[in-house]
A and B are shown apart, each in its own frame.
Chain A
Amino acid sequence: MASRRDAPAGPAPVVVASGLTRLYAVSEREAGLAAALRSVLRRSVRQVRAVDGVTFEVGPGEIVGFLGPNGAGKTTTLKMLAGLLHPTEGRAEVLGHAPAERRPEFLRQITLVTGQRSQLQWDIPAADSFELHRAVYRIPPARYRRILADLDAMLDLGPLLGKPVRNLSLGERMKCEVAAALLHEPRVLFLDEPTLGLDVVAQRRIRSFLADYNRRTGATILLTSHYMADVQALCRRVIVIHHGRLLFDGLLEALAGRLLPHKVIVVQPSDPAADLRPYGEVTERAPGEVTLRVPRAAAPAVAARILAEVAVDDVSILDPPIEDVVEQIFSAGRAPESGAGLRP
């Protein structure tokens, strides 16, 4: 059992980010031929701060969720920690290494999974990609067989491995992606939207697998996700990043009350002119669809009232998207705050 971050006098941190900053140079050009010619001579370049002075530590065995709207700097932070991007300023340290040096002994202990891109080769069966992985990571055959058997038991890969990856469904492919990423038994996992686009069943499957893997191996996991459910199921601790700055670092429950005070009710009224304002705050009105925000506890009752009193085609109760909530809570330049349980 891995020691958790609330253990007294925890061991040395696995991941350290200290004043981590990343600037992107974005070249700008006005439209038009004259501007194009001018830009040949003098390109106007603007510096964008994708990540701005982010500092945190993660202990062994922790699962930490990164929250923040699109473009907040989550992925850039992960990429700096994995060694794909050099920090412009500040320092990253993972397992005692500077990630950007990409030393083989460092790379052998980490892995990166992204829901958007595939590391498996499209045209060959996943088993062949695994075999290449084994060669590159120099995994001894006996150990490889054991790991593969374990992963198979947990993810039920058997029937998938022989098919060309392009013939797999997204959920099946993601299982293979996750398995490929874990073949070398990494100690640190960087997961960037690992459940993106998956159906609910597949999401739950991946989630419970990751939790299980963390329990069994004590691996440290850093995770970004669009889905609140991912974070709620896996992470006790969350880090909120917005406009490249760290806004919150602490226990999920300390944030949850603030983060999720509302539920969203989406109504498709049969009569497009129906007035739903009495039931809650109307946040969006699309043709044939009205979105309401209601207090969390009241949501079931309000939905029942709508069903009883308004002619509707459909009603659904949803968690507000993380993006919206984070944007809403931390917008308007509110000062960064720290929750309870913040690491010293």
Chain B
Amino acid sequence: MIEALRLFAAFVRVAVHREVAYRANLVAQTVQSVVGLGTALGGLAVVFAHTATLAGWPPSELVALVGVFQMVGGAIGFAIQPAMQRLMEEVRTGALDFTLLQPADSQVLVSVREVSVYRLTDVALGAALLGAALARLGARLGPGRIAAFTLALAAGGAVVYAVWLALATCAFWWVRVDNVLVIFETLYDAGRWPVSIYPGWLRGALTFLIPVALATSVPVEALTGALRGRTLALAAVVAAAALVLSRLLWRAGLRAYSGASG
């Protein structure tokens, strides 16, 4: 874990080094982040012009949800998506050979070595929005809820990472899978609304298949106290299982890549 953070820091340093030269990208990304946030908040404004609560969620909680949605989306765009895209690219071109010959855990290496620095604007904006929403929720926030939120967010993040890695690992068997990642992005968009508003089949898909809800709705429910301890424990178990499964899948993918039997 420490090793992973050390490598991650090195790769982020180089990425920052590279990106400061393109400050116009920062402007472009900021515009996009603000537009994204504006769209989400505008949607809320339209909806709450007609109702006081949505599926039991008052406006301030939905604003918190938008904040978490933006944060998690930004974190994915910052660290997970670029690394996984590069992984698939390298499987296709064969450049993964060089990565596999480096003396570090290959899964850690492919997971940390590419970042899009400017997507951090989404993380910052989302965090600011979340902070504002929390200020309105105010006194009801105890340390217990903060801890539950942190745990839920970590679990959600772990699950999202595991799903991305699993999708990208498919490249070892079917070389052209870039588009599979679009599935995640498309479904992730549904995460800006409480998952409880969706019909059963979609709710199931967002909870179990591509578990977007674990990274968005569930952490916010932890904040607002709507989350039962059992659900939180379940989320933690699911996260651990997802990490283990993605690790196994990664190993199997590598074996397929290098042609080992069994």
A touching B, CB within 8 angstroms: yes
Q: Which residues of A have CB within 8 Å of B6? A: 135
- Determine the residue in chain B with the shortest Cβ distance to A25: B259
Binary flags per residue of A172-209, CB closer than 8 Å to B gives 1, else 0: 00000000000000000000000000000000000000
Q: How far is the CA of A120 from the CA of B217 in the complex (A)?
A: 41
Q: Please report the total number of B residues contacting A with Cβ < 8 Å.
A: 26
- Asked if A112 meets B97 with Cβ closer than 8 Å, knowing A85-B258, A86-B259, the reply is yes
Query: B229-262 toward A: CB 8 Å interface, digit per residue (1/0)?
Result: 0000000000000000000000000010011110
CB proximity to B under 8 Å, residues A90-126: 100, 102, 104-108, 110-112, 114, 117-119, 123-124
Q: Beyond A117-B93, A119-B95, A128-B14, is A112–B101 a contact (Cβ under 8 Å)? A: yes
Chain A proximity mask over B27-55: 1 for CB below 8 Å, otherwise 0: 00000000000000000000000000000
8 Å CB contact of B104 from A79, A105, A136: A136
* Contact B101 A132, beta carbon cutoff 8 Å: no
Contact digits for B116-130, partner A, Cβ 8 Å, 1 yes 0 no: 000000000000000
Residue of A nearest to B14 (CB): A128
A107–B259 touching, CB < 8 Å: no
Name the one of A84, A106, A128, A137 contacting B258, with C-beta atoms under 8 angstroms.
Answer: A84
Q: Is A88 an interface residue (CB 8 A)?
A: yes
Q: Which residues of B contact A104 (CB under 8 A)?
A: 103-104
- B18 in the interface, Cβ–Cβ < 8 Å? yes
Contact of A112 among B14, B98, B260 (CB under 8 A): B98
Range class of the A interface residue count: 20 to 34
A82 in the interface (beta carbon within 8 A): yes
Instruction: State the CA gap A161–B137 with chains docked (Å).
Output: 53
A154 and B261 CA atoms in complex are apart in Å by 43
- B18 A110 Cβ-Cβ under 8 A: no
Q: Which of A24, A88, A111, A118 contacts B101 (CB 8 A)?
A: A111
B261 proximity list for chain A (CB < 8 A): 86
A84-B258, A86-B258, A124-B18 given; A136·B98 CB < 8 A: no
Distance between A299 CB and nearest chain B CB, rounded to angstroms: 39
Tell me the complex Cα distance, A311–B200, Å.
85
Contacts of B93 in A (CB 8 A): 117
* Alpha-carbon separation in the docked complex, A24 to B257 (Å): 12
Contacting pair A136 B100 (CB below 8 A): no
Contacts of A85 in B (CB 8 A): 258-259
- The answer for the CA separation of A135 and B17 in the assembled complex, in Å, is 15
Tell whether B109 is near chain A: CB-to-CB under 8 Å.
yes
Partner of A117, one of B95, B109, B255: B95
Does A105 contact B14, Cβ atoms closer than 8 Å? no
Task: Find chain B residues with CB under 8 A from A22 CB.
Answer: 259
Residues of chain B contacted by A106 (CB below 8 angstroms): 103
A107 partner residues in chain B, CB cutoff 8 A:
101-103
5 chain-A/chain-B pairs, Cβ below 8 angstroms:
A86-B255, A107-B101, A108-B103, A128-B17, A136-B7
* Those 9 A-B pairs whose CB atoms lie nearest each other, nearest first: A135-B10, A104-B103, A86-B260, A119-B98, A107-B103, A108-B103, A128-B14, A124-B18, A136-B102
10 additional A-B residue pairs with CB within 8 Å, beyond A132-B11, A135-B10: A79-B97, A86-B260, A88-B259, A102-B106, A117-B95, A117-B98, A124-B18, A128-B14, A131-B13, A136-B109
Chain A residues near B (Cβ < 8 Å): 22, 24, 79, 82-86, 88, 100, 102, 104-108, 110-112, 114, 117-119, 123-124, 128, 131-132, 135-137
